[in-house]
Each structure stands twice: as C-alpha cells, then as structure tokens.
Amino acid sequence: METRIRAFRGATTVENDEPSEIRAAVAALVAEMVSANTLTDDDMVSVILTVTPDLTSMYAGTALREELGFDDVPLLGAVEANVTTGVDRCVRVMLHAYSPLSRADVHHVFHGESRRLRPDLQQADG
C-alpha cells in the first residue's frame, strides 16, 4: 500500500470562550482524529488550526502541545473569516499526515455545532 500525505479535517465548538473548554474540546477532537485514522506521531506533518473571532482566551495549538504532546509537529493558528453563516465559538483543524488511506477512506471528525459545517463528510456512526 502506498503512503501519501493526506489532509484530515475536524472541527469542534465550545459553549464559552474559556481556556479549559477550548483545551478539552481541541484535545478530544484531535485525539479522535488520530485514533479514527490510526495515525502515529511519526505520521504527522503539520496542523493548521483556525478559530472563530469570538475565541480569544487562548491559542488552540497550546492544547495540542500540552495535552497530546505535539511538541515537534509544526502548528499554525489563524482566525476564520467572520461570516454570517459561520458557526460560533468554533475551532477547525486540518491535520496533514502520511497515511495509506485513500481520500475516500479518511475519517473526518466533527463535534458539537460544527457538524453543520460539512454534513457531507459525516460518518454514518457520527
């Protein structure tokens, strides 16, 4: 099986702009993304995290470094466009990793209200 770089998508929402909520939500989201796609630390290439403009209490990448040990994985954070059709208090993740999975077999993970973002990518069990 050929291994290629794949992009794994995920998103989550929090009720409040509180560091403890953001930390827990981001850690749970990315842990599920890694587990669902059987990724290892050596598979990781980089992670892009975006937050909606209403999340200002912490950098979401800190949760990955401190909770999941992503110390040597390049992280980039940005603020999402502030659009009227967006999802409030949302963190989105694009994780790049080496994987033998085809694009069709990649498991994308959406928690909370972020499920509205891409209903077409929802797994049957999700």
Residue spans of the domains in the chain: they are 4-116
Predicted confidence (pLDDT) at residue 121 exceeds the cutoff of 80: no
Model pTM score: 0.90
Q: Look at 65 and 84; give whichever has higher pLDDT.
A: 65
Predicted confidence (pLDDT) at residue 125 exceeds the cutoff of 70: no
List all residues 6 or more positions away from 1 whose beta carbon is below 8 Å from its beta carbon: 100
pLDDT score recorded for residue 23:
97
Distance, in Å, from the CA atom of 1 to the CA atom of 87, rounded to the nearest integer, reads 38
Residue 58 CB neighbours (<10 A): 17
- Average pLDDT in the 87-91 region? 94
* CATH class, 4-116 region: alpha beta
Predicted confidence (pLDDT) at residue 99 exceeds the cutoff of 60: yes
Confidence grade of residue 114 (pLDDT, cut at 50, 70, 90):
confident
pLDDT score recorded for residue 61:
95
List all residues 6 or more positions away from 48 whose beta carbon is below 8 Å from its beta carbon: 75, 76, 77, 78, 93, 94, 96
Confidence grade of residue 126 (pLDDT, cut at 50, 70, 90):
very low
Q: Look at 123 and 86; give whichever has higher pLDDT.
A: 86
- What is the average pLDDT value for the chain, to the nearest integer? 91
- Report DSSP state, residue 91: E
Helix locations, the chain, DSSP H: 19-36, 60-68
Q: Is 86 left (phi over 0), alpha (psi -120 to 50) or beta?
A: beta
Calculated CA dihedral for residues 50, 51, 53, 54, nearest 10 degrees: 180
Contact yes or no for 37/99 (Cβ under 8 A): yes
